[in-house]
Amino acid sequence: MPKDTADVLAALTTPSVSRRRFMAWSAVAGVGAGVVGASRHGLQAAAADSAPAAEEKIVWSSCNVNCGSRCPLRLVVRDGRVVRVDPDDTGDDELGTQQIRACVRGRSIRTRIYNPDRLTSPMKRVGRRGEDKWQKISWDEATTLIADQLKKTIAEHGNESVYLQYGTGVLGATVARSWPPAGTAVARLMNCVGGFLDQYSDYSTGQIGIAVDFQHGGWQGSNSNDDTRNSKLVVMFGNNPHETRMSGGGEVFVTQKAKAETGHRVIVIDPRQSETAMNLADEWVPIRPGTDAALVAGFAHVMISENLLDQTFLDTYCSGFDEDHMPEGVPANLSYRSYVMGEGADGTAKTPEWAAKITGLPAQTITRLAREIATTKPCAITQGWGPQRHSNGENQSRAPMLLAAMTGQIGISGGGTGERESSANIGMASFPTLENPVRPVIPFYRWTDAITSGEGWTYKDGVRDNADRNGNANVTNDVTLGSNIKFMWLYGSNALVNQHGDINRTLEILSDENALEMIVCIDNHMTVSARYSDILLPDAVTAEQVDLAQQGSSGNLGYAIFTDKAVDPPGEAKPVYEQLTLIADKLGVKQKFTEGRSQEDWVRWIVDESRKTIPDLPPFEEFRRMGVFKKKLEPVIAMKAFRDDPKANPLATPSGKIEIFSTNLHRMSQDWPVEGDNKITPTPEYVRTREMPGDPLQERYPLQCIGHHYKQRTHSSYGNSPWLKEAHPQHVWINPIDAQSRGIGNGDSVDVWNDRGKVRLPAYVTPRIMPGVLSIPQGAWYTPGANGLDEGGSVNTLTSHTPTAYSKGNGQHSVLAQIAKA
């Protein structure tokens, strides 16, 4: 018996070893990988799976899910089966040349490859949507049904009625990629037959992705985390890379290494003491969810009152901070300074005492932090994407950017823009998807509304022009949506149901088969969303096809991974490119779609194209043998060119400057329709919108309920891994104060509910969550039981469809709920 296996078996039989701790450790370490399954599949079979064999080969692959990292895996294959997963064995422990060590998820990838939920043959629905009744059909029948329905839909409703749903289940690959929709092979197929209805922005960055258009003239990012070696202070608003980007070669390594080298101080502002707050921070600042803009206003009051602003930066690079630097023609007292000092319409000074009542932080803490942030330089200010996922998310996301401007830390080494960290990139070529002639583009979060009432939508409903989908120049346009959504492609996506808001309302909309006539799902697992589709096409996983993986977020390390074919797909499963080639043939566009190339031919083409701009990237066969190509790059200093010469390098805002007062938002605030208590403000004011502290609904549902990222899965990917579910079970975080008043103990089964639904799951009673706040790890698979009770614990059973003010995005963290023992 190999030493690793013997040690693992000994550990399992040693009383002093915590079994759950061992399971978590073994999944991370990858020691005796087959043995981790012992809890479910028996020690004898597990030990046999790890036994030595005469012939083994190692094939380079990658974990391609939407975590922000992208990790190479060395798959050990014996007799046509992956028997072990080894990590990257290249590089070292230095920034820019580090090993890219896969996390617990990537090391557990065998539970995805060999999961009993794998789809292995084409199927069509024979019951109602979601009833989970299926009939196996041939590839010829499946592709004929799809092609015929596509032709019918386009003939009757136009190409605008065919929608590519958002999906990131295959993110990071090049040919077999599911995001962005416009960059997928499905988009290439649709562009061969007249185009499709696309979306803008995404579930990760729905509010900040639009807000930056108005404040920074488009996405800028912040400095890469390796640059924090030049910082004296790092301030992170809801930024949690140790769970969201937890690869050992990604931002976990980068942030810890940079801090170890220089010892800079780290402050994490978050309602939950995240893994990042635990592992990296010197101070955790617990704040009520959705109130970051109020906190920044309190900071601003201190900085203005005590003359701590970087006034030179504000005067030179910004528009609209004070009355002396406002755009022409704007009424008096609309500047941000006027708002903070109580000279605006509400007449209320945004003192630390005012901010304390909203945020839940002591006023003296707000004052102390304001002084420290203003006087400690360089200061790197970043934000994660949790704060902007609120009903007031646009202003939430603009506030940390404003703080970076007030302290003058934008465009310098050691500083930051207030956006999320950037990372260096070698710039690999992409798979070409041709041009989409369909002009309307809808907000990603409004597809459910577009099924029921999309026809006739204009820019005031959030419709953008595909020719000008980015930037804020298209506040108005002449594009009108010509049809409701009638046909939907669902590729590598669980956003049809599990990851969208208000699951029960979503299922009501999907149940109308006359409204949405066909849903085609291409996936490798029977996900929640697959269950509610009409045609299922079994996809290959990364280990079953030849492709390239684009790099993840890893500081100043640039890299690319050659993901080779290690094993055959199960049953009749095929890579998505081969599936779409069959459909293209039925549509009469096979030659246009393939250009005579197989998937491997396209990968060769992409390598050749990439080598035109990356001369040291090895040729195809050499790259294939190497597995991973790495290159140390310079740190990213976001907006440096603008800081160095703002006249020569203006931003894409109307003024060319950072618009603290946005002229376009001011114009929109005059006549744009908004839902409920949403509000469009030209400056980053704190706005109390739906299901925030102070909402009268708190009389019935007193607790705020947010979602957070979790080790067990990336969104919903890996959500059906038995190893990871045992190591990291689903639960709801609750503070001891709230638990005690309700008689809830740690581990108790509890119900969490509101008017939209109810979930049942165990309680995790911990002081790591602020009183008055619950947090349910997002991505758990919705599992309906009796009376609509979700026994899987999906937080989206509780979240809302209601779009935010002007991004029309997903304020999914603005939820009020109640909790009690089940």
- Rounded to the nearest 10 degrees, the angle between the axes of helix 576-587 and helix 139-157 is 60
365 with 280, same domain: the answer is yes
pLDDT of residue 247: 86
The rounded distance, in Å, linking the Cα atoms of 104 and 322 is 49
User: Does residue 580 register a pLDDT over 90?
Assistant: yes
pLDDT one-digit tens code per residue, 287-330: 999 999 999 999 999 999 999 999 999 999 999 999 999 999 99
User: Does residue 50 register a pLDDT over 60?
Assistant: no
Residue 517's nearest CA partner among 533, 494, 537 is 533
106 with 25, same domain: the answer is yes
pLDDT of residue 419: 98
176 with 214, same domain: the answer is no
CATH value at residue 338: 3.40.228.10
The rounded distance, in Å, linking the Cα atoms of 540 and 176 is 9
User: Does residue 231 register a pLDDT over 60?
Assistant: yes
pLDDT of residue 624: 98
Task: Note whether residue 558 is domain-resident.
Answer: no
Task: Look at the chain and report how many structural domains it folds into.
Answer: 4
74 with 180, same domain: the answer is no
**Domain encompassing residue 33:** 3-113
Residues 800, 691 contacting (CB under 8 angstroms)? yes
- Structure tokens that stand for 806 in this block: 């002007």
Q: What percent of the chain has pLDDT over 90?
A: 89
241 with 180, same domain: the answer is no
pLDDT one-digit tens code per residue, 737-755: 999 999 999 999 999 999 9
Task: Note whether residue 87 is domain-resident.
Answer: yes
pLDDT one-digit tens code per residue, 668-720: 999 888 888 899 999 999 999 999 999 999 999 999 999 999 999 999 999 99
Task: Note whether residue 799 is domain-resident.
Answer: yes
pLDDT of residue 36: 32
Helix, strand, coil tally for the chain in percent (to 5): 35, 20, 50
407 with 509, same domain: the answer is no
Distance (Å) of CA 418 to CA 267, 415, 653, 712: 14, 9, 17, 29
Mean pLDDT, the chain, rounded, equals 92
User: Does residue 45 register a pLDDT over 90?
Assistant: no
Average pLDDT over residues 336-340: 98
Of 30-39, 63-72, 259-268, 757-766, the range with the lowest mean pLDDT is: 30-39
505 with 591, same domain: the answer is yes
Q: Are strands 123-125 and 773-777 parallel, antiparallel or unpaired?
A: unpaired
CATH value at residue 774: 2.40.40.20
Q: Are strands 816-821 and 703-708 parallel, antiparallel or unpaired?
A: antiparallel
pLDDT one-digit tens code per residue, 129-167: 999 999 999 999 999 999 999 999 999 999 999 999 999
Task: Note whether residue 676 is domain-resident.
Answer: no
pLDDT of residue 699: 98
pLDDT bin (cut points 50, 70, 90) of residue 722 is: very high
Q: Which residues contact 470 (CB under 8 A, 6 or more apart)?
A: 200, 213, 218
288 with 147, same domain: the answer is no
User: Does residue 269 register a pLDDT over 60?
Assistant: yes
Residues 316, 646 contacting (CB under 8 angstroms)? yes
pLDDT one-digit tens code per residue, 590-617: 999 999 999 999 999 999 999 999 999 9
As to burial, measured by CB atoms within 10 angstroms (0-12 exposed, 13-18 middle, 19+ buried), residue 782 is: buried
User: Does residue 544 register a pLDDT over 90?
Assistant: yes
User: Does residue 40 register a pLDDT over 60?
Assistant: no
286 with 317, same domain: the answer is yes
Q: What percent of the chain has pLDDT over 70?
A: 93
User: Does residue 42 register a pLDDT over 70?
Assistant: no
Task: Tell which of 83, 113, 143 closes a domain.
Answer: 113
The rounded distance, in Å, linking the Cα atoms of 755 and 744 is 22
Task: Note whether residue 603 is domain-resident.
Answer: no
Average pLDDT over residues 40-66: 65
Average pLDDT over residues 259-282: 97
pLDDT bin (cut points 50, 70, 90) of residue 26 is: very low
Which letter, b or e, does each residue of 582-602 get, where b requires 16 or more Cβ atoms within 10 Å of its Cβ? bbbebbebbeebbeeeebbeb
The rounded distance, in Å, linking the Cα atoms of 385 and 87 is 29
Task: Note whether residue 608 is domain-resident.
Answer: no
Average pLDDT over residues 353-365: 98
pLDDT bin (cut points 50, 70, 90) of residue 474 is: low
User: Does residue 41 register a pLDDT over 60?
Assistant: no
85 with 131, same domain: the answer is no
Pick the more confident residue, 233 or 39.
Answer: 233
The rounded distance, in Å, linking the Cα atoms of 89 and 107 is 14
Task: Note whether residue 677 is domain-resident.
Answer: no
648 with 726, same domain: the answer is no
Residues 207, 394 contacting (CB under 8 angstroms)? yes
pLDDT of residue 286: 98
Task: Note whether residue 624 is domain-resident.
Answer: no
464 with 579, same domain: the answer is yes
The rounded distance, in Å, linking the Cα atoms of 194 and 455 is 19
The rounded distance, in Å, linking the Cα atoms of 392 and 390 is 5
CATH value at residue 176: 3.40.50.740
Average pLDDT over residues 403-415: 98
pLDDT of residue 476: 74
